[in-house]
Chain A
Amino acid sequence: MIKAILIFNNHGKPRLIRFYQYFTEDMQQQIIRETFHLVSKRDDNVCNFLEGGSLIGGSDYKLIYRHYATLYFVFCVDSSESELGILDLIQVFVETLDKCFENVCELDLIFHMDKVHYILQEVVMGGMVLETNMNEIVAQVEVQNRLEKSEVLNCLFCHVNSSPINREATKPAVPDQHRLRPL
C-alpha cells in the first residue's frame, strides 16, 4: 500500500499532497516538513530509499523518492510494495505528466494542481497501484479532458460563460533546467 504521495519543491513548498490515510491538516504539514527535511539533505547520487519518517507510518514504511530538477516526488509505502517498482512508478507518473503538459515544469504543477491530481488518480487509487501503462493513463486522462471540454462547450452554447478550468492559452517559456525532464 501507498500511504502518501507528496510532491514539493527544493524549498519544501508543497505542490501536491495526497494522503491515503487521514491526517489532520496540521499533521499533514508537519509530515511534509519532516519529509522535506529528510529528503532535502540527501545528495542526488545516494540511494532513493529512506527509512524513518517518524510521523508517518512506522518501521514498516519507507520513503521512496525521486528528485527531478526543482521537484521532489516522494512516495511513502509499506513493505508490500516493491521498492524498485515504486521507483518505476514515479518515473511513469512523471513521464505521464510530461506528456499531458508537454514538457512539464514546476509551474504546471503550481497552476494546475487539480489536473495533476486527476492524472495521479489514474495511476494510484486509494493507495494501490491502478495502472502502470503510460499510454493507457494518458488515454484515459485525455478522454476525460475531452469530456470536460465538451461540457464546457455545451455550457458556452447555453449561456455565455467562460470556463473556470481553462488552461492558460500561452504558457510562459520554461528555462531548460526547470523542465522535469524524465531520465
Chain B
Amino acid sequence: MGREVSESCIDSLLIEMVSTYCNRFYANKPELAARRIEAIGYQVGHQLSERYTMERPRFSDHLEAIKFICKDFWSELFKKQIDNLKTNHRGTFVLQDNRFRWLTRMSIDQSPENGASEDPSIMADEKAVESMHLYFPCGIIRGALSNLGIPCAVSADISNLPACSFVIRIKA
C-alpha cells in the first residue's frame, strides 16, 4: 500500500471526470451522468472502507461507524476531519465540512453583473455544475457505509461555499 500520486493529479482527474461525464458521455442527460458518477464513488468508497477499517476494532453501532467516517476516513481522504456532526437520533446525520478540499479550487462568482434578469439562470447553472462535483464524494460515503453494513442515501448541500454539508439518511 505504498504507492502515491500527487494531489493535483487527483484534483485534475476528478474535475475532468465530471466534465467528461456531463459534456461528452451523457451530454443532455444530467441525471444519468450524476448516477454514473455516484456509482463510481460507491465503488471507491466500498474499497477504501475495507482498507481503512483493517486494524481497528469492530463498530458497535451506527453512530460509531459515522464517527469513523467523520474522523479517520475523512482524515485519510482529505487530511482533515469533519467540522460538525449533527443527528436527529432517528437515522439522519448531517456532516458539515467548512472547507471541502475538492471545492477549494472552484470559483464563487458572487458579483452581480449588469442585468438582473440574467442572474438567476447563470446562478442556477453554476449551482448545477457545482452539485455535479459533489456526487462523487456522496458516492464515496455511501459506498463506505454500505460496506460497513449500513445501507443509506447520501445527498449534499452547498448553500454556502466553500462549506459543504452531506446529509446521510439511514434506510431502516
Chains A and B come from one and the same complex: no
Chain B residues engaging chain A, CB cutoff 8 angstroms = none
Chain A residues engaging chain B, CB cutoff 8 angstroms = none
